[in-house]
Amino acid sequence: MRFEPSGAFTPVSATDLLDGRTALAVLAPHPDDETLGCGSLLAEASAIGIACSVICVTDGRRSHPNSRLWPPARLIAQRRQELERAAALLGPIEVHHLGFADCEAPTDGPALAALARHVRQGALFLSTWAGDPHVDHQSCATLASRLARQRPDVRHLAYPIWGRLRPALPFPRQGWRLTSIHPAKPAALRCHESQMTRLIHDDPDGFTMEPDHQRLFLQEPEVFLAP
């Protein structure tokens, strides 16, 4: 079982969701969250001339902690390249790396100041949902909420990742769902091969997203919630 948006979720186009704003900023806890949660929106917004940016908080070094072939420095470089390639496929998108370790995403301090520099005036600002059962997703939701309180010029919405796969969670029953899936999204997701394939084969307990979970994010609408 999984959550499928319907009912009170208002169908919208990218233009509807942007509502006249000229910038879109996506706060991603890890490289790949931007594509899973917002890939179609980023591609559609970029195609109509919106200034798009992705701010990635962590560097992905702990997704395969027992791999000898992929020590942290190599994995960090790989995941950075994956994000850069994915963003390039989705459109002309600025990418900023804050460089924190997995499971250490901050909620305040210098990261908040850095985030403020990367979010354009008046942007539609997206972060992960606070209800996602992952510490980095929750920390990024808190960080984004703090920025939104300081910046009334931005409109802050949340995108769920793991919350869409856990039907037992108290998931909100209203929000917005994008009416189209951009054709660039599957190719962008394939760029994240360290997470979507068995590229790293010497750590059987490392993270690889299950194919049916990947299909959910490629076949079902992107969902956005009031935080």
pLDDT tens column, 150-188: 999 999 999 999 999 876 667 787 899 999 999 999 999
| DSSP one-letter code for 163 | G
Average predicted confidence (pLDDT) for the chain: 95
**Secondary structure of residue 50 in the 3-state scheme:** coil
* Residue-level pLDDT at 170: 76
123-162: b (≥16 Cβ within 10 Å) or e = bbbbbbbbbbebebbbbbbbbbbbbbeebeebbbbbbbbb
Is 124 inside a domain boundary?
A: yes
pLDDT at residue 1 tops 50: no
Is 7 inside a domain boundary?
A: no
Averaged pLDDT, 14-27: 98
Dist. CA 187–CA 86, nearest whole Å: 8
Question: How many CA atoms does the CB half-sphere of 64 hold within 13 Å?
Answer: 26
Provide, rounded to the nearest whole percent, the portion of the chain with pLDDT above 70. 96
* Residue-level pLDDT at 3: 56
* Residue-level pLDDT at 140: 98
Domains identified in the chain, total number: 1
Is 165 inside a domain boundary?
A: yes
**Secondary structure of residue 210 in the 3-state scheme:** coil
Provide, rounded to the nearest whole percent, the portion of the chain with pLDDT above 90. 91
Is 207 inside a domain boundary?
A: yes
Is 211 inside a domain boundary?
A: yes
| DSSP one-letter code for 177 | E
- Residue 175: strand pairing partners: 9
For 54-72, what is each residue's pLDDT tens digit?
999 999 999 999 999 999 9
Residue 5: which pLDDT band, with cuts at 50, 70 and 90?
Answer: low
Is 122 inside a domain boundary?
A: yes
Averaged pLDDT, 45-62: 98
Is 2 inside a domain boundary?
A: no
The CATH number linked to 205 is 3.40.50.10320
| Nearest one of 135, 31, 45 to 90, comparing CA atoms | 45
Is 1 inside a domain boundary?
A: no
Range of the domain at 184: 23-224
Q: Which residue has the higher pLDDT, 157 or 7?
A: 157
99-112: b (≥16 Cβ within 10 Å) or e = ebebeebbeeeebb
